Amino acid sequence: MPSIDMPLSELWDYRPALTRPDDFDDYWSEALSAGRGQPFDARVSPRSYPADGVELFDVALAAFGGGTISCQLMKPAGKTRLPTVVFYHGYSGAGPTPFALLPWACQGFAAMGVDCRGQGGRSTDGAAYPGGHRPGFMTQGIEHPNQYYYRYTYVDCVRALDWLAEQDDVDPTRMGITGISQGGGLTLAVAGLSDRPKLAISEVPFLCHFRRSVDIAAAGPYREVADWMRFRPETAELSWRTLEYVDCMNLAGRIRCRTVVTVGLWDDICPPSSVFAAYNHIEADKQMEVFDFTGHESPVHFAETRFAMMRAEV
């Protein structure tokens, strides 16, 4: 498919005005305070795994506002002061398999995958969402900013990082976070809401610049919002306001860690302009990797780049 967005020369300069509500910082301060005030109630269960020198654990944490967040943690056996890498996954999917965590553990990392509430992994969603919604997760609670799906999910992801940082064998000053698509958006969100990450690698991120993404994305989850507003046009103003609280473009200026972002110039699910809109508002040390002739995907070769960056910088 051909490019559906701006020329690259324009994307580098695309920095639309932020759409933060006036109480944006208070909204997140209150959410994070409530999340960090909730006990983890962690349940850690060792699992056998057919590889030498590593340990695998199932981790269950109390989700923000109800439910359980499930994680898988693999780390080298008998080591301490471990650097960590935390993975957030794509929309409706699940965290990485133990086999995908194995190379990281073999190279000395505590590697943890986090399953998003109610999606394709084992996490459960105990939140109550008032009002109706369209199929999917994008419009669950969209008329109620304090009860919106991604408010809960962002805080869940921060809580998972907080729990890992408290483990005796982890070095809390050496934490990396990463993900693709929804996972890329969650990476940006956590980097904007937590001071724990040292490095954030966000690949073809979702959840950026909602106003433009909903308008031009040809496929994927942004269409759920368009369907909702077409179906319930009277809710549009309030729905947009809710989305503005969780828009990674509005969170980008809060990021303080080194951040690497990737973009595919043929991406019609997470439009390149939405990715650049968030990236161009990041004021921390940052790097953009641009992939020509690439849609909504992470090129195979970038996995090695990501691995090398984490080893060198975390």
Would you name the residues annotated as active-site residues? 181, 267, 296
Closest of 296, 299, 281, 288 to residue 259, by C-alpha = 288
Is the CA virtual torsion 120, 121, 122, 126 positive or negative? negative
DSSP calls for 274-291: HHHHHHTT--SSEEEEEE
CA distance 73 to 67: 19
3-state secondary structure of 21: coil
Closest of 281, 282, 285 to residue 16, by C-alpha = 281
Alpha helices in 81-126 (DSSP H): 98-106
182 within 8 A of 90, measured Cβ to Cβ: yes
CA distance 40 to 59: 11
CA distance 212 to 158: 27
123 within 8 A of 67, measured Cβ to Cβ: yes
Widest CA span in the chain: 59
Radius of gyration of the chain (CA): 19
Closest of 157, 158, 132, 154 to residue 144, by C-alpha = 132
Let me know if 295 is exposed, middle or buried by CB neighbors in 10 A (0-12, 13-18, 19+): middle
199 to 85, 151, 175: CA distances (angstroms) = 9, 22, 7
Is the CA virtual torsion 55, 75, 54, 70 positive or negative? positive
